[in-house]
Amino acid sequence: MGAALYEPINVYKPVAANIGVVDGPFEYIRVAGIRLPLPFTTRMTVVRLSNGDLFLHSPTKFDRKLADELEHLGTVRHLISPNQFHYAHIGEWLKAFPDAVASASPGVRRRSRARHAEIRFGRDLDLDPPDEWRNELDQTLFPGGYFKEFIFFHRTSESLIVTDAIINIELDKMDEPWRTFTKMSGMY
């Protein structure tokens, strides 16, 4: 995989005023406890709300140095699980920021319990954005079958924030046999 494409890892990268991304470390899919040799990239989107609170969309693996960097931008307040697959590191961020509120997407509470992930979700996402970001972020449920997820729109920067509804697959960055599998499965 083309790790250099996403470096530096665990560093906030501004995209526009009050919005940026953090590329996290590669992770691996596990099936029945077995780690598959297919690494995938991770990315968190960070939005600084007008009151100084930070909205962390799909938090990546917790990193203390990154957390310190983000605290210079604002107060970590909202930890968002946009779909049932992007919750794995929310518990780590909650331990570091116990006053933050974790928001659950449909199915994520059930999935996290089944995988014995101890996460204290304080809110369920729905079509109506909560007061904390209602004037800055729009949100809607993207009805994508297996990858049903909440997508967000940051009004000021006109940025669409998605996770698995749109996946950028770069075949030239993939090793075999994954390149061939990606083509044959229709994912590409």
How far does CA 95 lie from the centroid of its chain? 17
Q: Is 94 helix (H, G, I), strand (E, B) or coil?
A: helix
What is the phi/psi pair of residue 24, to 5°?
A: -95, 180
- Its domain, for residue 121, covers 3-184
pLDDT at res. 114: 83
DSSP-derived pairing of the beta strands 19-31 and 12-16 = antiparallel
Structure tokens at 188: 């590409």
Tell me the one-letter amino acid at 42.
T
pLDDT at res. 1: 38
Predicted structure pTM score: 0.88
Q: What is the CATH number of the domain that holds 167?
A: 3.60.15.10
Residues in the chain with pLDDT < 50? 1-4
Cα separation, 53 vs 72, whole angstroms = 11
Number of domains in the chain: 1
